[in-house]
Amino acid sequence: MRSRIVPASALVFLLAVLGFAQTFQTGKIMSINKHEATAPTKSSTDAPSKSSTDDYDVVIAVGGTNYTTLYKHHGDLEPAWGEGKDIEVQISGKVMNVKKANGKTEKLRIVSSKPA
């Protein structure tokens, strides 16, 4: 009797973990817009006046919904990303994880969503 309980318990646990795990799905980049740099304001501090990151609005269509995401990045945009390109995404609350060409994931903040 005990020999059946352990494998059955392990199977139930494995199925529960797989059920909660979110998988990546295919999305399509609809548009990419770089935010315009704002003119630095005169400051009385010695702190740098310009951010070292660039901000992009990236609209990604996934499963009939267009998600507008905010991507903060140092330097140039991910080379594999372009309008009309398919990418692998995972949505978790207000965050979209996007796989890059090197296999690593990048977190983009979801700022809005609407039906496609």
Tokens of 21: 């795990």
Q: Determine contact, residues 11/17, Cβ cutoff 8 Å.
A: no
Question: Which domains, ranges and CATH numbers included, belong to the chain?
Answer: 23-36+51-116 (2.40.50)
β-pair type (95-99, 54-62)? unpaired
With tokens 């529960």, the residue in question is: 16
Q: Quickly count: other Cβ atoms within 10 Å of residue 20's Cβ.
A: 7
Q: What is the pLDDT of residues 82-102, one digit of tens each?
A: 999 999 999 999 999 999 989
SS3 label, residue 49: coil
What pLDDT is stored for residue 4 in this prediction? Answer: 59
Give the residues of the chain that fall short of pLDDT 50: 1, 19-20
Q: Determine contact, residues 75/52, Cβ cutoff 8 Å.
A: no
What pLDDT is stored for residue 15 in this prediction? Answer: 53
